[in-house]
Amino acid sequence: MAIVAAMAVPHPPIILPEIGRGEEEKIAKTTAAYREVMKRAASLEPDTVVITSPHATMYSDYFHISPGEKAEGDFGAFRCPEVRIEAEYDEAFSKALANACAAEDLPAGFLGEREPALDHGTMIPLYFLQPELKKPVKVVRIGLSGLSADMHYRLGQLIRETAGKLGRRAVFIASGDLSHKLKAEGPYGFAKEGPVFDEEVTKDLGQADFLSLLTIPADLAEGAAECGLRSFWIMAGALDRQAVKAELLSHEGTFGVGYGVAYFTPEGEDDARNIGRQLHDKEMRDIAAVREREDAYVHLARLSLETFVRSHVFLPLPKDLPAELQDRRAGCFVSIKKDGRLRGCIGTLAPGRRNLAEEILYNAVSAGMHDPRFPQVTPEELPRLVYDVDVLSEPEPIDSPKQLDVKRYGVIVQNGERRGLLLPDLAGVDRVDEQIAIARRKGNIGAREPVQLWRFEVTRHV
């Protein structure tokens, strides 16, 4: 046996009558859909339920599988401690999955549990499922990670393979809300990415278009402030090479957060749905297209980091560089991205090297090896990295934020020796006050401390 059904469900505490106290009636479609998918799942008499939750233990570079024989939790954090959920873990499944991950060097296992109690992203699906079951069902609980879409997908594939090897009838529950920024009056406010994200994800879920789901732009997901996408990625992997009947039962955003309920029925092997391979091939094609259109600035940045990572020595400057790189001096920033997300960024406000070419060379190596926010780039990562080079104009002092434009100008805020900088035209930064606030934080400057403002323009090479 293997995965007999899968579902994507939200986890709003307000959906529980004990917590909503009447407010849950405003999302009655979500509640009805929730009950329907749980009845269907229970009717399949599963042996194991695999739940992925963004509120379980989560690390940037590791999938945490909850250890032990059982766990429990309550909704005390939502002023309802009397509602309690218990779950018996499928230890054999969890151990077999951890071993399968270790065999493939996929970073997953039992290390680093911070909170053994069940989280609400796990408890709410169980709240609806457990009353429908004819017999108790064991649970495997897994946290998400900051790893790439293909790593989440591969974890899903290993979950399915583990269920098959153990002869389990397993139901997969991908717990996760959609955008948290659908309404200005909602708890998290409004962002233009919110409705776009929800429309795209619900379309993909309703059509089982998992390749589209796996390639949703990172800036769209981040701007929407979602929490379920990675759960859905793992679920997609658990349905790899399966013909799938997909149903989107409901989608509501009543409270400013997107709640979607979708149900997936596997209908037999289908090698044409090798979405993991399709994802890899698409990523390689996209990277190749980026490489083909590199200009001399970006090519130098990439070659500089690749040389250093592979040989641990700095690249000798090529002899055939354009004159503007050899003869000009300017500050510059080199940004590195992986899977659409920042992987490193280091730069200089003013020139410190003999020419712009050297400035790019050393900043590219620093961005990949010395950005304190990230581990050093490894040789295995190099084929998936893309680069931006921003060449800065000379900063000029300004008297007022009114002289800024987030699309045109970067900003420097300075208080004594402390200084913070933010580049222009960054995804998710739409207002001058946001731009200044972020620059203050980067410079460790308080929100009320006086600052001198500077602005600068950049020429961006991508």
* CA torsion through residues 363, 368, 374, 376, sign: negative
pLDDT at 379 (0 to 100): 97
pLDDT on residue 428: 78
What's this model's pTM, rounded to 2 decimal places? Answer: 0.89
pLDDT of amino acid 164: 97
Tokens of 118: 């069940």
Q: What is the pLDDT of residues 193-218, one digit of tens each?
A: 999 999 999 999 999 999 999 999 99
Let me know: does 129 contact 41? Beta carbons within 8 Å: yes
Q: What is the DSSP string of 333-398?
A: EEEEEETTEEEEEEE-SS--SSSHHHHHHHHHHHHHH--TTSPPPPGGGGGGEEEEEEEEPPPEEE
137 half-sphere exposure, CB direction, 13 A CA radius: 29
Query: Per-residue pLDDT tens for 224-270?
Result: 999 999 999 999 999 999 999 999 999 999 999 999 999 999 999 99
User: In this structure, which topology does domain 393-462 adopt according to CATH?
Assistant: Dna Ligase; domain 1 (3.30.1490)
**CB of 445 within 8 A of CB of 415?**
yes
The CATH H-level (homologous superfamily) assignment of domain 294-385 is: Hypothetical protein ph0010; domain 1 (3.30.700.20)
Q: Do residues 113 and 64 touch, judged by C-beta distance below 8 A? A: yes
Say which amino acid occupies 94: S
Q: Do domains 3-271 and 393-462 have the same CATH topology?
A: no
**Residue ranges of the chain whose pLDDT lies below 70:** 1
- With tokens 């490894």, the residue in question is 378
Which tens digits make up the pLDDT trace of 144-174?
Answer: 999 999 999 999 999 999 999 999 999 999 9
Give the pLDDT score at 41. 98
pLDDT confidence of residue 1: 64
Q: Domain limits of the chain?
A: 3-271, 294-385, 393-462
Fold category of 3-271 in CATH: Protocatechuate 4,5-dioxygenase; Chain B (3.40.830)
How many degrees, rounded to 5, is the angle at CA 222 between CA 66 and CA 107? Answer: 30
